[in-house]
Amino acid sequence: MSVAGFVYDERMLKHRCPYDDSVAESPNRIKNIYDRLTADELLNGCIHIPTRMATDQEIELCHPKELIESLQQLRTQTDHEEHCKSRDLLYLCSDSLEAAQLAAGGTIEAMKAVVNEKCANAFAIVRPPGHHSHGNLPQGYCIFNNVAIAAKVAVDKLGLQRVLIVDFDFHPPNGTYYSVHNDSRIVLASLHNYMHGAAWPHTEDMDYTAPGNAVHIPLNRVGFTGRDYLAAFHHIILPIAKEWNPQLILVSAGFDSALGDMGAVSQAVEAPTYGHIVSLLNEIAPGKVCAVLEGGYFPPSYTECAAMTMRGIRGQPLPAVRYQYKPLNPVMVETIWHCLVHLSVKWDCIKGHLEALQEAQRRASLPEFVPRTPSIFLGKEMRAHFDQVIARKKCRTREWMPQRSAEETAAIVAAINQYVDQYEYKTEQVIEKYEERLDELRWCQVVSSEAFIQSAQSTLMFYQRFKTYINSTDGKLLIGDRENF
């Protein structure tokens, strides 16, 4: 079977915030993507996989029955908003439960279609997203954890023994991690915003040292490009994926890591990167890749990213990437080294790669890489404050994000158009020679110093934003208003 599949159901459009129309996670997210893929003829010839609501039994593979029952008991708009006051960044309406059941069920059906070879790869265009939700804690726009539920169905009901989850969303997949980290049949690999714990969710287990089956690549600066993301894939995720030899790859496709999506705190990944990531994963598990929509909130960006992802899903030509002569960011260099040292204990491929890198250091008359100690974690105070807001049921339910100005919007669109105008649909050009991949991680005093400076600048931005909020009388920071305390 060489035909790709997709999931899209307009019933998921009914999930919306009835008391704040400025919410970034809006129905238009999936409609805009579907319309873009249709306009580009990227769905032509694909199988439209029927959507259904996930059963309680399937949902309960990751969530307690109490969560489903508590959502079923909500009746009025007041009920829904009050429920969200003890949840970290969540909104609900009378149609939210059905939409969440459809998102989970659609993801399961996309996964089954791939596993049962009814299609070769699939893209589940679903909402609400899922990768922050776990247990009895829907949060971060997420109600049920679509990808984690599908992974559990794959191993518990379909008998798969090796499932790989890859998450490139801007935010950490904390819900997915807590849902699967003790399951030896599942490996979770993620690149995500961390800032030494100064970024949400402010927990230390989102660092590279997370135990269990996690392959966490924490990002400690803003502005990483596709060059940096692909380097992390080539040095860490792809070798581990090859060693793991997955029977299924689930991709948590969050496009809020794209250039400009998160405003001043954005990463800067160009849209073709996502297509190349999916294409590279397909080389490891041909026809067994199922991408599932997570974040992405700036329409000109996430629609371009989705189009490139669908190209990767279908094995269609992608814009060439030319990174051979562009240096890897020093912060990513340090992050990759830290991850390799930690992961070398568990993965033979990483152990061998680390040995080769250290030998390259010696041949260049440079000292071997030694991780910075002690490690830095800045999230303890922040997480404690968030937990206090949740316990007091004082979470904000409206106006979470500042609205972009017309000037900011125009600047981001111009930056996107600039790289789109340079598209050349030729053979992918990435660093292919192993020796060159060793050289791009060369570690010296200059790189170390620059990594420290750049990481400190971004981390301080997140930390100071929190301090400003705490010390002001009218500060607002996503979860709670200062006036409540």
C-alpha span between 271 and 303 (Å, rounded): 9
Q: 365 by DSSP, 3-state: which? A: coil
With bands split at pLDDT 50, 70 and 90, how would you rate the model's confidence at 401? confident
- E strands, 183-254, in order: 186-193, 214-219, 248-253
C-alpha span between 339 and 209 (Å, rounded): 8
Q: Locate tokens 């019933």: which residue?
A: 11
C-alpha span between 483 and 474 (Å, rounded): 6
- Residue 482 pLDDT more than 90? no
Q: Determine the pLDDT at residue 2.
A: 80
pTM of the predicted model, to two decimals? 0.97
- What φ, ψ does residue 376 adopt, rounded to 5°? -100, 130
Annotation says 132 is catalytic: yes
Query: How do residues 258-308 score in pLDDT, each as one tens digit?
Result: 999 998 899 999 999 999 999 999 999 999 999 999 999 999 999 999 999
Which of 280, 270, 282, 267 has the alpha carbon at shortest distance from 308?
270
Locate 199 and state its tokens. Answer: 């970024």
Q: Determine the pLDDT at residue 477.
A: 61
Locate 367 and state its tokens. Answer: 């000292």
Q: What is the DSSP letter of 329?
A: P
Q: 411 by DSSP, 3-state: which? A: helix
Q: 357 by DSSP, 3-state: which? A: helix
Query: How do residues 100-113 score in pLDDT, each as one tens digit?
Result: 999 999 999 999 99
Q: Determine the pLDDT at residue 475.
A: 60
423 conformational bin, left if phi > 0, alpha if psi -120 to 50, beta if neither: beta
Locate 458 and state its tokens. Answer: 């971004």
Locate 228 and state its tokens. Answer: 């940096």
Q: Determine the pLDDT at residue 469.
A: 79
149-178 average pLDDT score:
98
Orientation of helix 348-363 relative to helix 330-343, angle to 10°: 130
Higher pLDDT pick, 406 / 485: 406
Query: How do residues 246-255 score in pLDDT, each as one tens digit?
Result: 999 999 999 9
- What φ, ψ does residue 152 adopt, rounded to 5°? -65, -40
β-pairing, 480-481 vs 476-477, is antiparallel
153-174 average pLDDT score:
98
Please identify which of the residues 80, 83, 131, 132 carries the catalytic annotation.
132
Using only C-alpha atoms, the chain has a radius of gyration, in whole angstroms, of 21
Q: 118 by DSSP, 3-state: which? A: coil
- Name the average pLDDT for the chain: 94
Q: What is the DSSP letter of 256?
A: G
Q: Are 62 and 113 in contact (CB under 8 A)?
A: no
The identity of residue 207, as a single letter, is D
Q: Determine the pLDDT at residue 129.
A: 98
User: Hey, what's the torsion of the CAs at 66, 68, 70, 71, to 10 degrees?
Assistant: 170
Share of the chain above pLDDT 70, in %: 95
Q: Determine the pLDDT at residue 481.
A: 65
Q: How big is the CA angle at 115 (ends 179 and 296), to the nearest 5 degrees?
A: 55
Spatial CB neighbours of 41, under 8 Å, sequence gap ≥ 6: none
C-alpha span between 96 and 217 (Å, rounded): 32
